[in-house]
Amino acid sequence: MKNAYQPELWQNVFVVLGSSSAALIGLLFIATSLHLDEIMNSEAFRIRARNMTFHLLALLVEATLILTPQPIAVLGAELVAINLLGLQLPLSFVYKAFYKNKQMRKRGAYSIYRGIINIAGYVLGIAGGASLIERSNLGMYLITASFIAFLVSAILNSWTIMTVVGQTAKQK
């Protein structure tokens, strides 16, 4: 069976996913700048906005690497490295929310479900990269699932920030 990493077959998927990531980064910057005071006054929202930016930036870099012609094993190693680095963000956030600062769980500032989605997204990315190193047909499907998990998480996180910050602005 041929390897699933055939760039010509995956090109359109990752052009769309990379473009979506770039667009969401831009929208996040705009939304954050419009409500900068409210976000900066909340540790949880500040961390959430920063982490979402890094998650989306990682997706943009991954899409660029996937679209760049290179050996499949090198691509797999790059994807594993990016996802291992990124995994520290949701793990750190979960640790802070549950053990260091219990206030972060109030007012919609933290969701264990989104933490799990982000951790799962990075684990899928690591598994996908490792699969590509091994030349498994499953690798690109795992990477694509990782992308979708992060895009869903970014949209849900953005919605939470908008609604809570919007409620705070109405109360003033």
Q: Rounded to the nearest 10 degrees, what angle do helices 72-95 and 43-67 cross at?
A: 170
Instruction: Report residue 130's pLDDT band, with 50, 70 and 90 as the boundaries.
Output: very high
Per cent of the chain over pLDDT 70 is 84
* Mean pLDDT calculated for residue range 110-119: 79
Cα 100 from Cα 103, distance rounded (Å):
9
**Domain boundaries of the chain, sorted by first residue:** 7-171
Give yes or no for residue 32 having a pLDDT over 90.
Answer: no
* Mean pLDDT calculated for residue range 97-118: 68
* Mean pLDDT calculated for residue range 88-99: 80
For the chain, how many helices (H) and strands (E)?
6, 0
Q: What is the pLDDT of residues 55-87, one digit of tens each?
A: 999 999 999 999 999 999 999 999 999 999 999
Q: What is the pLDDT of residues 34-46, one digit of tens each?
A: 778 877 887 777 8
The pLDDT score that the predictor gives to residue 48 is: 80
Contact status, residue 146 vs residue 63, Cβ threshold 8 Å: no
pTM of the model: 0.83
Of 51, 66, 34, 35, residue with least CA distance to 147: 66
